[in-house]
Each structure stands twice: as C-alpha cells, then as structure tokens.
Amino acid sequence: TQLLEQSPQFLSIQEGENLTVYCNSSSVFSSLQWYRQEPGEGPVLLVTVVTGGEVKKLKRLTFQFGDARKDSSLHITAAQPGDTGLYLCAGASSGTYKYIFGTGTRLKVLA
C-alpha cells in the first residue's frame, strides 16, 4: 500500500518563526502537490512539483521535491497567523498515477 507520511502531525509556533513540513514515501511519485485547507473549506492547491530536485517558491513558502521523487518538503519563512491551516501533500504514483493524499500537518501560528 502506498502511503504519504507527513511530519510533524501537529505544529504550533509563534508568529515570525520558520518551520518545515515533510512528506515522505517509500514509493516513487511522478508528481507531488501541496494544498492548504482551512476549517469548513476544501483544500486549495499551493504548488505542483514534477521534477526530482525541483524547488519552487511562493512568497514565503518554499517547496522541494526530493531527487528520487519519494519525498517533498514545505518550508515557511516568518510564519504568520494567516498561514494557519491543514497542509496536505498529494501525489500521483509513478506508473499507475494513482492519486493519494498525505496524512496531513495541522499548523497553528500564534500572534
């Protein structure tokens, strides 16, 4: 069974701190996407990465796809209360393109 394990599961930090969320698997993925979900709403796509080693930046958010395409990370610089939410990675497995979501990281940024 393919799994996308995210760590940490929960994270509570002060405004201005930096943080990194990890998304790991033992399987190879053809692509990975990161979403943020706020309470009462559906997930919103933040980024898609497709090439091993790829790094993408979205304002204070930096996304990286591992060289072997088995893992990804999301780094937030100078976190703000507006970054609070559930962060989900999701990927299409290499070969079958079966789409699965990660276990999620719930982030709370305190003012």
Partner 1 sequence: DSGVTQTPKHLITATGQRVTLRCSPRSGDLSVYWYQQSLDQGLQFLIQYYNGEERAKGNILERFSAQQFPDLHSELNLSSLELGDSALYFCASSPNPGLAGGPGTDTQYFGPGTRLTVL
Instruction: Report the alpha-carbon distance of residue 35 to residue 89 in Å, rounded.
Output: 6
The answer to whether the beta carbons of residues 55 and 6 sit under 8 Å apart is no
Burial class, 6, CB count within 10 angstroms (exposed 0-12 / middle 13-18 / buried 19+): buried
Please say which residue, 79 or 89, places its beta carbon nearer to partner 1. 89
| Number of residues binding to partner 1, judged by CB under 8 A | 24
Please say which residue, 70 or 104, places its beta carbon nearer to partner 1. 104
Q: Name which of residues 72 to 91 contact partner 1 (CB under 8 A).
A: 88, 90
Binding-site ranges for partner 1 (CB under 8 A): 30-31, 33, 40-45, 48, 50, 88, 90, 92-93, 96-104
